[in-house]
Amino acid sequence: MQFLWKYADDLIGKGLEWYLVGELLFYASSSFVPLALPLAILLSSIMTMGGLGEQFELTALKASGISLVRIGAPLFIVSIVIGISSYLFSNYMQPASYLQFRALLYDVSEQKPALNIKPGVFYSGIDGYSMRIGKKLADNQTIFDVMIYDHTDGKGNTNVLIAKKGKMVLTDDKRFMILELFNGKQYQEITDNQKKDLAQEQARVSFDYWKKIFDLSDFKMTRTDVNLFKDNYEMMNQGQLAKAIDTFEIEKKNNEAQLVSFVKPYLSFLKHNLDSVFKKNNSFLSAVDSSLAYDKKTLDEKSSIINSAVISIRNIKGYSSFISGSQNSKTEMTLRYQIEWWRKITLAFACLLLFLIGAPLGAIIRKGGLGLPFVIAVVFFVFFYMVTVSGEKFAKEKVTSVFTGMWLSSLILLPIGIFLVRKATHDSKLFNLDAWYGILKKTAAIFNRRKSR
């Protein structure tokens, strides 16, 4: 639904075949798989362990000497397999699928709206023509009160056809439209660019029958080469992302070298070793002729020196601004590529992380089905998603490193998972309402005693 609402403007009115819309939905759905798997594992683990607890099967297994860790080990192995599958899907299948999706979406967005000539409205979808019909019968072919402006000569409204009746038929392959007009007239101004000041002639022709075949090939969607979109970071695997990141780093170093080589001719001291400039009795200092001192220059010479310095500073400032903009752009792109590189790993690890939360939670609450487990799963997943998005935003804004930002949700939820596993293995009454009620009752009694004193 989110996809349909987001791209509704690109899809509606294009006359797309059902299989094209289905293909778009299929390719778009691949982007939801890496995020849907952790949620599925969280919910299923809560429901599975909760169902075992609700039917007292966990109690029976523990009574027979089997620990909770051993009970959940096969499920943990399944989670590992799903996590590895999630990584492989994110690294190989999702980029290829997203590449096809973007290419197809571009073709759909560039597609002309479907041929739809409505009564009483001028239609300009056919290049070089603007037409209006007054009425259309139910057969969708017979039309009345037809007016057509021919703009193919590029001279404005100088050629118009008017007919009382007509017939509009599409060929079987929908590549051409055959328009037949009956009992009409054609008005055409005969313009002459060489005689602009003279009155223009007008030709008027009456006809009983007029036929025109319009080429509708522009309405047929053409498929763009997908290789034109392959350089986007969302369409790369980890190897390609790492290579692109290295390329950005090399380009940044080249920009720095270009800036130094550009500035060097303007700053004479850069021609010498900067470390040696500040040494005592250096040949660089002794080579300076005191007669060239600024105070001994004439006013014209001083003015020339100042103007030359101002021009040099402007040139350096302009080129430095250009290099700075290029560096900032490459730094931002590097961050995006690094975020995408880590995302493939963190979402796969989330499958294991949310299992460590879901399985002990189910064992503690001892409720199966889609009631309480579903609510708890949604709460934890929303928290996980919010922290994940926040960490990614921190990384983009350079608040934290990319590594810290992308692993932020795991760093926060992993201690919670370990805590829940520990509580579940010791049969904790963490979510037992009666136990909490008893604690609150004892706390209230303590406060009442203090007040009575």
Tally of CB atoms within 10 A around 24: 21
Output the six-digit token pair for 386. Answer: 């919010």
DSSP string, 309-372: HHHHHHHHHHHHHHHHHHHHHHHHHHHHHHHHHHHHHHHHHHHHHHHHHHHHHHHHH---TTSH
Task: With respect to residue 18, please indicate whether it lies within any of the assigned structural domains.
Answer: yes
Q: How many CA atoms lie within 13 A of 310 on its CB side?
A: 6
CA 152/CA 282 separation, integer angstroms:
80
Q: Are residues 88 and 185 in the same domain?
A: no
State whether 91 and 37 are in the same domain: yes
Regarding whether 398 and 347 lie in a shared domain, the answer is yes
Average confidence (pLDDT) over 397-413:
92
179 belongs to a structural domain: yes
pLDDT tops 70 at residue 272: no
Domain boundary among 160, 194, 219: 219
> Is pTM beyond 0.75 here?
no
Domain of residue 198 covers: 129-219
pLDDT value for 336: 92
The answer on 392 and 352 residing in a single domain is yes
Q: 23: burial class by Cβ within 10 Å (0-12, 13-18, 19+)?
A: middle
Q: Tell me if 213 is assigned to some domain.
A: yes
* Domain shared by 102 and 44, yes or no: yes
Q: Copy the structure tokens of residue 67.
A: 């620990």
Q: Is residue 169 part of a domain?
A: yes
Residues 103 and 134 both lie in one domain? no
Q: Following DSSP, what letter does each residue of 245-303 receive, concatenated? A: HHHHHHHHHHHHHHHHHHHGGG-GGGGS-HHHHTSTT-HHHHTS-GGG-GGGS-HHHHH
Does residue 407 have a pLDDT over 80?
yes
- Given a cut of 50, whether residue 171 has pLDDT beyond it is yes
For residue 113, how many other CB atoms are within 10 A of its CB? 11
Weakest mean pLDDT among 124-133, 203-212, 293-302, 403-412: 293-302
Q: 271-277: list long-range contacts, CB under 8 Å, 24+ apart.
A: none
Same domain (yes/no): 66, 133? no
Residues 78 and 148 in one domain: no
* pLDDT, tens digit, 9 for 90 and up, residues 6-45: 666 666 666 677 778 788 888 888 888 888 999 999 988 8
Task: Tell me, yes or no, whether 158 and 84 share the same domain.
Answer: no
Are residues 32 and 96 part of one domain? yes
Are residues 92 and 15 part of one domain?
A: yes
Interatomic CA distance for residues 422 and 416, integer angstroms: 10
Q: How far is CA 75 from CA 97, 248, 412, in A?
A: 30, 42, 23
| CA–CA–CA angle 346, 351, 353 (5° rounding) | 80
Q: Is residue 80 over pLDDT 60?
A: yes
Phi/psi region, residue 210 (left: phi>0; alpha: psi -120 to 50; beta: rest), is: beta
Q: What integer pLDDT is reported at residue 198 of this predicted model?
A: 56
Distance in angstroms (rounded) separating the CA atoms of residues 16 and 19: 8
Q: Which of 52, 212, 56, 219 is nearest to 148 (CA)?
A: 212
Q: Which of 191, 219, 247 is the last residue of a domain?
A: 219
288 occurs within a structural domain: no
Answer whether residue 397 shows pLDDT above 50. Answer: yes
Q: Give the sign of the dihedral formed by CA 189, CA 190, CA 194, CA 195.
A: negative
pLDDT at 159 over 90: no
Instruction: Flag whether 60 is in a domain.
Output: yes
157 belongs to a structural domain: yes
Is residue 321 in a domain? no
End position of a domain, from candidates 175, 198, 219: 219
Number of domains within the chain: 2
Q: How confident is the model at residue 291 (pLDDT cuts 50, 70, 90)?
A: very low
SS3 8: helix
Domain check: are 182 and 91 in the same one? Answer: no
